[in-house]
Amino acid sequence: MSTTLWIIIAGAVATYLTRIGGHLVISRFERIHPRVEAGLNAVPAAVLTTLVAPAALSAGPAELAALAVAAVVGLRGGLMTMFLTGAAVLIAMRHFIG
């Protein structure tokens, strides 16, 4: 089997474990330690930030403008609005700046 297939299968198993695991494990505890809970709460933002920040580090003006506009729109609008606005800025600026 190819590496890609292994990644998909292992990723699917890992994902299913997160979806059933909370019920099987966490619900048995009366209370999660507040520090553990704070750490768990931080996981998605912390992980996802690492996928944006280095990309911004090596980005040009079009990419930076797209991120900046998207961030401002994201304060108000939903995920879809902000994504489409950011994409529009990126495409327009790449078109005009090259």
Site residues for another protein per CB under 8 A:
3-12, 14-27, 34-57, 59, 63, 66-67, 70-71, 74-75, 78-80, 82-83, 86-87, 90-91, 94-95
Q: Taking the complex as a whole, how short is the minimal distance between the CB of residue 65 and another protein, in angstroms?
A: 11
The 10 Å Cβ neighbour count of residue 84 is: 13
Q: How far apart are CA 16 and CA 4, in angstroms?
A: 18
Q: b or e along 33-65 (b: 16 or more beta carbons within 10 Å of the residue's beta carbon)?
A: eeeeeeeeeeeeeeeeeeeeeeeeeeeeebbeb
Q: Taking the complex as a whole, how short is the minimal distance between the CB of residue 46 and another protein, in angstroms?
A: 3
Q: Taking the complex as a whole, how short is the minimal distance between the CB of residue 83 and another protein, in angstroms?
A: 5
